[in-house]
Structure 1
Amino acid sequence: MIKQKTLRKRTKHTGATSQQKNLSIQFSLDGFSFCITDSESKSVLSYTAYNFEKTLSSPEQLLEKVIAIFADDPDLQTEFDKVYAIHQNNLSTVVPEVLFDRNDLLPYLNYTVKTLQTDFIIFDELPVIQANTVYIPYVNVNNFIFQNFGEFEFQHHSTVLIDKLIASSKDLIQETCFFVHVTASSMDIVVIREEQLLLCNTFDYQTKEDFIYYILFVAEQLQLDPESVPVTFLGNITKEDPRYQITYEFVRTLNFIRSTTRFFEREDDIKNHQTYLLLN
């Protein structure tokens, strides 16, 4: 069912000050990861990630994987003070506040997502850019989490991504910030200029050629020169990755995002930029 658990790490010296713990979960059709933090000190106590052997084809298959993980992983078989979940999928769009009607969400997705009248559509507020993320969550997984833990908070991954990257862009010297968040089968490209969002889009890809095509396509559409605009990676990519290597053939400057967490500083098999959404 699961190809491998990419990492399970616990801190040897946690600095925990309470017995209460918080659980943060991130899930997609590619995998499932979670971290546990101390409720008072906010220190990370453990992190676990699972990779699925192949990208799943439906939310129903995802639920089967999640149920199996919860049944097998003892770290998830306990009580938590707070539970927070990140839905990672391409069933979303960002709508400026001036164009937003919270009582009629379906039309916003009809342009980019195949929707059904029965789909449950919700939104996250994005006050940092005066906009809202409209999306379809994995309702079946939400129901399962609720059955296990009761009330919990959840957001779409693009909400978390935009919010964190705009904050991160304040510390960068370049005027235009070109971010690429990488997963096994999709990539989010986020372009920010002077703390304003120019673009946030998700592209599914199969090959490294697809991967570089979308980067160059977005650069062309926004009239950005790959010779002068750095690309900053985060997510599931390293310097040894073929996707990184092919990008380096076309883009002069490549970086990895600076993460505030130091949880994996001494790890060889995972880097801090790979867990940016969940841990940063």
Structure 2
Amino acid sequence: MFLPENIDLAYSERYNLSIRLSPNGFSFCIYCPGDPSIFHFQETGLSGKLSYIDNIKKLIFDLGFFSQTFNQVTVTVVSPFYTLVPEAYFEKKRIEELFRFNFHETNGVILTDSTLENDLRTLFNVDEEVHSFLSRNLWNPTFHHHSSILTRLFISHRGDETGKCCFADFHDKYVTIVCFSGNRLLSTNTFLATDPHDATYFIASVWEKLTFDQSTDRLFLSGNIDSQRATIDLLKKLIRRVEQVELSPKVVLTEEQKRTLPTDILAALCV
């Protein structure tokens, strides 16, 4: 496999490895926290002839270096199956009960991720075989949900906003919508949105249910915006204050990478 010449995996402990699991894809990036010039991202589609777990096993074994000792290894799970629980009501022994309350037919191991300075827990599921395999074959990995990463990013971009604001991130044929009133999180949802009218409908519905003002409240957009021009044109007809989230990653990226890399990956590169 091709890696840039400035990445020497004989010294893998210098680098961070980040793996991203989406419903129909597998991607990873390698970067060095101490050297912004070192960054590599690679995305791979999954074979329709293999199961999801067999695809992942094949990729891990074929590429061969994932089990090395990296400085940090993270796995980001992208899915619409998650629920938020306030820390005050969270009990580890009830984690499955809390998750199954919203998702009755979803299988797998239930994991947690923190949101908003540990005020909330994100509960999400991962295929049990996938989780077990990656836990065995990666160096001390931590698992995160894409919505938690986005929420932490958006709360920092909300700044001193005192009114209501909404963030919509386009990714993996989904739109993740995160809404705030001042510094209070109102809602987080991820919807399948393969049609411009789908995304517009979901965003408009959230605004209506949360009584957002189309003239004064703000809508921030991020993610794969280039593929969503029809959606954005529709939204601008409905909402007066539509803006784009501007990110400043601490690694050197091409303009194409800045436009096309998933926002949850860019968020990790901004820390």
Q: TM-score range by the shorter chain?
A: 0.7 to 0.9
**Does 2:84 align with 1:104?**
no
Q: Is the 8 A contact 1:30 1:185 kept in 2?
A: no
Indicate which of 240, 258, 264 corresponds to 1:271.
Answer: 258
Deviates more, 1:234-243 or 1:96-105: 234-243
Once the two structures are superposed, residues 139-166 of structure 1 have per-residue CA deviations (whole angstroms, 9 ceiling, x without a partner) of 3333332333232111112222222221
State the shift of 1:11 in Å. 9.2
- For residues 77-115 of structure 1, give each alpha carbon's deviation from its aligned partner in whole angstroms, at most 9, with x where no partner exists: 854232111111122100112222221122322343134
Q: 1:148 aligns with which of 134, 137, 145?
A: 137
In the alignment, the residues of structure 1 paired with residue 186 and residue 178 of structure 2 have an alpha-carbon distance, to the nearest angstrom, of 8
In structure 1, what is the equivalent of residue 41 of structure 2? 48
Aligned partner letter, 1:133 = T
- TM-score (normalizing by structure 1): 0.78
Supply the RMSD in Å over aligned alpha carbons: 3.3
| 12, 22, 25: which one aligns with 2:19 | 25
Q: Give secondary structure in 1 for the equivalent of 2:109.
A: coil
Alignment match of 1:169 (pick from 132, 141, 158):
158
Q: Indicate the residue corresponding to 2:218 in structure 1.
A: 230
In structure 1, list runs of 5 or more residues that go unmatched.
1-7
Q: Alpha-carbon deviations, 1:120-141, whole Å to 9, x = none?
A: 2222233526121111123333
Distance 1:113 1:182 in 2: 23
Contact 1:188 1:203 in 2 (8 A): yes
Q: Cα gap change, 1:141/1:18 in structure 2, threshold over 3 Å: closer, same or farther? A: closer
For residues 140 and 124 of structure 2, what CA distance do their matches in structure 1 show? 20
**Deviation readout 1:179-209 (Å, 9 max, x if unpaired):** 0121232211101122210111111223111
CA contact under 8 A between 2:22 and 2:172: conserved in structure 1?
A: no
Size of the alignment, in residue pairs?
A: 263
SS class of match (2:189): strand
Verify the 8 A CA contact 2:13 2:70 in the aligned structure 1. no
Q: Calculate the TM-score normalised by the size of structure 2.
A: 0.81
Q: Distance in 2 between matches of 1:149 and 1:28?
A: 18
Q: Please tell me the residue identity of whatever aligns with 1:204.
A: L
Q: Distance in 2 between matches of 1:111 and 1:30?
A: 26
In the alignment, the residues of structure 2 paired with residue 266 and residue 201 of structure 1 have an alpha-carbon distance, to the nearest angstrom, of: 30
Q: Tell which deviates more after alignment, 41-50 or 192-201.
A: 41-50
Q: Which runs of 4+ in 1 moved over 3 A?
A: 8-13, 51-54, 67-79, 262-266, 272-275
Q: What is the aligned partner in structure 2 of residue 135 from structure 1?
A: 124
Q: Give the secondary structure class of the aligned counterpart of 2:257.
A: coil
* C-alpha distance in 1 between matches for 2:136 and 2:254: 37
How far, CA to CA, are the matches of 1:44 and 1:195 in structure 2?
A: 35
Residue 38 of structure 1 aligns with an amino acid whose one-letter code is C
Q: Which residue of 1 aligns with 2:59?
A: 69
Q: Secondary structure, in 3 states, of the residue corresponding to 2:217?
A: coil
